[in-house]
Amino acid sequence: MQWDESLSVQNEKIDSQHRQLFSLATQLEDLFETYSESNYDYDEIIRIIVKLHLYTIYHFETEEKILEDAGYPGLILHKKEHQRFVQFLENIKPDEIDKDQYQTLLDLLAFVVNWIMSHVKGTDSAYVPFITEE
Ligand SMILES: [Fe+2]
């Protein structure tokens, strides 16, 4: 999964944070490409998920502040979508991922990667006209 110019929201700060988010998601994807069910580093996967969680919180704060300053009318719904994603990440209990560990991590990864992609492509692109300076 790659960030490209078509995903730009015409704001330098947000774009660079989105690039960072995509790069963390790509790191996760790469791990799964090199790992197999019988040979993978559970701790490393969890480490990147924790990093992603922290970075996501930081990024959402930045983005929400910019949208607030711009008086974006869709802010409440947008914030809710952010909150749901943060909650999902917070509900991951590394100690409880025991049964079908590899499959659980794969499902988790698929969800995270899809969410980031569809959020940036869909939900985020909706605010572009509101934050673009004339
Ligand atoms: Fe967003």
79 CA distance to ligand 1 centroid (A)?
Answer: 8
Residues 94-133: tens digit of each pLDDT: 777 777 888 888 888 899 989 999 999 999 999 999 998 6
Query: Strands (DSSP E) along 2-101, which ranges?
Result: none
**Domain span at 78:** 11-129
Nearest to 85 by CA among 46, 49, 31, 37: 49
50 CA distance to ligand 1 centroid (A)?
Answer: 19
CATH of the domain at 43: 1.20.120.50
95 CA distance to ligand 1 centroid (A)?
Answer: 29
Residue 59 lies in a domain: yes
Residue 100 lies in a domain: yes
93 CA distance to ligand 1 centroid (A)?
Answer: 24
Residue 134 lies in a domain: no
- Percent pLDDT > 70 in the chain is 99
107 CA distance to ligand 1 centroid (A)?
Answer: 22
Residues 12-36: tens digit of each pLDDT: 999 999 999 999 999 988 988 999 8
Residue 22 lies in a domain: yes
82 CA distance to ligand 1 centroid (A)?
Answer: 6
Residue 2 lies in a domain: no
Looking at the structure of the chain, the number of domains it has is 1
Q: What is the pLDDT of residue 98?
A: 73
Residue 39 lies in a domain: yes
Q: Report which residue type is found at 110.
A: A
